[in-house]
Amino acid sequence: MQMIDQENWIATDYGFFYAKEKIKFIRLTQRLFLKDFVQTIKALHGDQLVGVICSSLEEGDLKLLTKLKISYLIPDRELKIFSASSSAPTPPKTCDSPYTNPIKIISPTGLEIVDVILKLDHAERQLSASKIASAYQLSRSKLSIIMTAFQAKTIDELRTKIFALPLDWWPKAFDIAICKRKMTPFRTKNTRRYILNHSLSAEQFQTKVDELQSQHYQVALGGLSYLKVLHQLNTSEFDLLINLNHLPQVLEYFNLRPATNRDVENIVYITPAISELECEKLETKKSLNLFPNIKNEKSNVRKINMLRYLWGLNYHEARIDELRHSLLENYFYALGKDDH
């Protein structure tokens, strides 16, 4: 960048440090992140003066930054410095933002709503919140709470703001203790370990789950099984989330027996849900084929709310954490690519 000199500008891992005014210029990869960045300046940096480096800032962004007296650098275009002598920037009122209270969206109904909002097509985004809630049988009150938390006036604005959340916000929000109420993760202290008497492929396992569901038994794929059906994981383990009252039928149908620590293959983990399976909101209200490249993606798998499943992947294994991150990325990319 021709606008900076080596004497005053020190390259860092976050961007540059402007030594003359002691301002940390933080590089933003997208202007979409600007508003959230602005909201968290105080929390993350305290009294340290902070600026923004971003090549795609637009006029509205510059007005905001100027209003807040936040320095900015558009490489090879513009540099604006607000020194310490300028009046201190006041971050906008955050009041109950998803940053301070991720429970607003990390809950059974919250994730159900977020999943639908992200999947809305252009025409649907122009509809009112009431119409969307009615069309997809979403909780109107919860949708209203989420819109307030994001300070979104329209569905379209809400969708944009949800997309603007940094990708690494999601796993951190998933892991916050308060977000663990009301939903059952796929591995709990009550998880039982069984072994299949005859090995099954992922598709055969899925078929058996579908058959049990068609007989109105409360059984659902667990996180590992879901990853296997998506061909993201190659392991001989499966898991299920069930209503404990239906355990006898599940044991019978899958021909399971209890596993010991010497059994390592064809393991099935069964986790009892904390309530009725319907309350877990495992299914999406708007099915989409998110992964057209994956072969044999069965229609029942499309009914799964992927965000809810990604929340439940609490296996604390490095390979699963990586997959969770990768699938989150793919999820947001698949749903947002038509916007660009």
Partner 1 sequence: MLLEKTIIERWKLDLDYCLPGLLDAIQKQHSLTFLIGGCVFDLYLMQQWIESFSRRTGDVDFTVEYLGDSSVYHIVTSELLCAGYLKDHCHPYRFHPPKQRGNYAYVDVLAFTTDLPLEANTRLLMRVGDNFNFEGMSFAKHHPLHLCANIYLPNPLALIYLKMQSYFHAPDRRKKDFADLIELILRLSAKSEILCELRNILNSFSNHSVRRVLLQMCKAIEYDHTGPWDLDDVREQIKERHLLDVFTADEIRQHFEFFRIKVLE
Residues of this chain that interact with partner 1 (CB under 8 A) are 192-193, 197, 247-248, 251, 257-262
Locate tokens 């993201």: which residue? 232
Nearer to partner 1, 262 or 340 (CB): 262
Based on CB atoms, which residue is closest to partner 1, 56 or 255?
Answer: 255
- Closest separation between CB of residue 325 and partner 1, Å? 30
Helices (H), 152-267: 155-164, 169-175, 202-214, 223-229, 247-254
- CB-wise, 250 or 328, nearer to partner 1? 250
State how far the alpha carbon of 230 is from the alpha carbons of 70, 139, 224, 304, in Å: 45, 29, 10, 11
Q: Burial letters for 21-37: b for 16+ Cβ neighbours within 10 Å, e otherwise?
A: bebbbbebeebbebebb
> Residue 303 is which amino acid?
K
Q: Specify whether the CB–CB gap between 206 and 298 falls below 8 A.
A: yes
Using the structure block, give the residue that is written with the tokens 């370990």: 193
Nearest to partner 1 of 146, 259 (CB atom): 259
For residues 62 and 72, is the Cβ–Cβ distance under 8 A? yes
Q: How far is the CB of 192 from partner 1 (least distance, A)?
A: 5
- Residue 133 CB, nearest approach to partner 1 (Å): 42
Task: State the nearest-atom distance from the C-beta of 258 to partner 1, in Å.
Answer: 5
Residue 78 one-letter amino acid: E
Closest approach of partner 1 to the CB of residue 232, in Å:
28
For residues 93 and 189, which CB has a smaller minimum distance to partner 1 in the complex? 189
Between 174 and 238, CB nearer to partner 1:
238
Distances (CA, A) of 130 to 103, 125, 247, 286: 22, 12, 39, 16
Least CB distance to partner 1 at residue 157 (A): 49
